[in-house]
Amino acid sequence: MHTIVVGSGIAGLSAALTAAQSGAQVTLIERASEGEHGGNTRYTEAYLRMKSMDEVADDFVDHFMANAGGYTDPAIEQEMVRAYEDWSPLARSQSVVDPEMLGAFADHAGPTLRWLEAAGLRFDFLPTAFITTTTTRLLPVGGGLAMVEVLTGACKAAGVEFRFETTARGLITRDGRVCGLETSAGPIAADSVILACGGFEGNPEMLARYVGAQAINLRPVARGGHYNKGEGIRMALDIGAAPNGDFGSYHAEPIDPRSGLAEPAIFTFPYGILVNREGLRFTDEAPGTVDAHYENVTRRIFEQRGGIAWLILDARIDDVPNWQKGSRTDQPPVKADSIAALAAALGLPADTLSETLARYNAACGTGAFRPLERDGLATTGLTPPKSNWARPIDRAPFMAWPVISANVFTFGGLKVDRHARVIDQDGRPIPGLYAAGETMGIYYRTYTGSTSVLRGAVFGRQAALHATGLAPS
């Protein structure tokens, strides 16, 4: 049995190693060079929404279901309460987070981490970049880079053939079954193909088509995202695969555009104000803990002219313990001893910025400031409001960081079932075709944080187990 895996991030490596361990001949196709491979996984810290090695976080299922799609037809939702074999083709192909797939995700998360542990990875509850949090997160020691390096070594030891600097071009089919892959180096025959080659955050044409013209202001959060050009999604759609996930959206993260680091996140904005090119506030900077709300705030930044805002803080930031961990850029803030001087340095209208600060300062409350928890210290009579940590910004030196929205990964992808089989528009699995990681679509509206790497590992493994006949059909 020959299995082709496309992509070498956590999804592809999990699939390749599982298939090899199951006795299959495995060829892994990767457009990057060796040492540059691994996609987004190579650059992430790989937060995992787990409360232990064996259990997902308490809010795991609820958060997914609160962001399960658009306004789904209630009649179709009622079908999904029944056993999966009783669903209609329409329900099976519906663009939604369905309970069948989500149940498999939650059920297999713990066993998948134990399998990764057996492969040589270690996990722990390590510090994160979030100053305030609402859920539990487990991390691999050494982050995503350790995942790529450990699993690459394990794959090679298990006999996986790596073909670096090779690009997947299209699927080969015969009598409705996927039986190989067209690549930049020629066709390869196989019994199954597992697409684990990312989303389309590295493809400006697809971004403009799906996300819109404003996508020119987006950039991948790390170098690995530039390799994700969407071919896996497109080649499957071309043979009738059902789409899933929010094609017009993506996982947004606030970063400093001056920095060339991977993921130079700015998570300190709840303690200051955000202003746009006009020098005006445009959002509640602190609706709750930063880990739960940074994506929604970042989307508001993306909507501003030029897709950019500035975070303005003053000397009071030193009252926040270890605030520097939430500012991951290698670039220093712009500093000034007055708001007028700061405006000049940022190229913002000084009169408007001064008025914005004056109105904000006058609206701040006088309650207790508790920086490490939601303190309810809110503005009064100000639009938009600030719901927590609202203190005047009036103590020099004043500091500012530019902030844009990074594209961590795109939401749109392929519809899969609990075994990661790609589903066609008629609700049927496409024989021989699987998808995992970013190439499968499961996110809508607001990202369920710290689940993307976990998604890749779980469904990469499930795809390989089914493709090699070790999982029930």
Could you tell me if residue 306 is inside a domain? yes
Q: What's the pLDDT band for 454 if we cut at 50, 70, 90?
A: very high
pTM, two decimals, is 0.96
Q: Which two tokens stand for residue 191?
A: 């019994």
Question: Mean pLDDT, the chain, as a whole number?
Answer: 96
Could you tell me if residue 279 is inside a domain? yes
Could you tell me if residue 28 is inside a domain? yes
Structural domains counted in the chain: 2
Q: What's the pLDDT band for 473 if we cut at 50, 70, 90?
A: very low
Where residue 218 sits, what CATH number does that domain have? 3.50.50.60
Could you tell me if residue 328 is inside a domain? yes
Question: Do 326 and 370 belong together in one domain?
Answer: yes
Question: Do 219 and 300 belong together in one domain?
Answer: no
The rounded distance, in Å, linking the Cα atoms of 188 and 179 is 9
Last residue of a domain, one of 406, 427, 445: 406
Q: What is the mean pLDDT of residues 169-181?
A: 97
Distances 153 to 13, 156, 165, 166, 300 between C-alpha atoms, Å: 10, 5, 18, 19, 42
Q: What is the mean pLDDT of residues 142-160?
A: 98
Question: Do 234 and 257 belong together in one domain?
Answer: no
Question: Do 151 and 189 belong together in one domain?
Answer: yes
Question: Do 235 and 273 belong together in one domain?
Answer: no
Could you tell me if residue 371 is inside a domain? yes
The rounded distance, in Å, linking the Cα atoms of 206 and 368 is 48
265 compared with 366, residue with greater pLDDT: 265
The rounded distance, in Å, linking the Cα atoms of 300 and 259 is 21
Last residue of a domain, one of 406, 429, 457: 406
The rounded distance, in Å, linking the Cα atoms of 381 and 366 is 14
CB atoms within 10 A of CB 186: 9
Question: Do 284 and 258 belong together in one domain?
Answer: yes
Question: pLDDT tens for residues 103-129?
Answer: 999 999 999 999 999 999 999 998 888
Last residue of a domain, one of 406, 439, 459: 406
Where residue 342 sits, what CATH number does that domain have? 3.90.700.10
Which of 409, 410, 414 has the alpha carbon at shortest distance from 463? 414
Question: Do 445 and 350 belong together in one domain?
Answer: no
Question: Do 205 and 330 belong together in one domain?
Answer: no
Which of 224, 197, 238, 95 has the alpha carbon at shortest distance from 438? 197
Question: pLDDT tens for residues 24-77?
Answer: 999 999 999 999 999 999 999 999 999 999 999 999 999 999 999 999 999 999
Q: Which helix (H) or strand (E) holds 178?
A: strand 177-183
Could you tell me if residue 68 is inside a domain? yes
Could you tell me if residue 472 is inside a domain? no
Q: What is the mean pLDDT of residues 212-218?
A: 97
Q: What whole-number percentage of the chain has pLDDT above 90?
A: 96
Q: What is the mean pLDDT of residues 182-208?
A: 98
Look at residue 224 and tell me whether its pLDDT is greater than 80: yes
Burial class of 343 by CB neighbour count within 10 A (0 to 12, 13 to 18, 19+): buried
Question: Do 229 and 342 belong together in one domain?
Answer: no
Look at residue 392 and tell me whether its pLDDT is greater than 80: yes
Which of 303, 472, 316 has the alpha carbon at shortest distance from 397? 316
The rounded distance, in Å, linking the Cα atoms of 112 and 116 is 6
The residue range of the domain holding 306 is 253-406
Q: What's the pLDDT band for 136 if we cut at 50, 70, 90?
A: confident
Look at residue 472 and tell me whether its pLDDT is greater than 80: no
Look at residue 87 and tell me whether its pLDDT is greater than 50: yes
Look at residue 212 and tell me whether its pLDDT is greater than 80: yes
Q: What is the mean pLDDT of residues 151-176?
A: 98
Question: Do 230 and 82 belong together in one domain?
Answer: yes
Q: What's the pLDDT band for 388 if we cut at 50, 70, 90?
A: very high
Question: Do 23 and 113 belong together in one domain?
Answer: yes
Could you tell me if residue 127 is inside a domain? yes
Question: Do 56 and 137 belong together in one domain?
Answer: yes
Q: What's the pLDDT band for 470 if we cut at 50, 70, 90?
A: confident
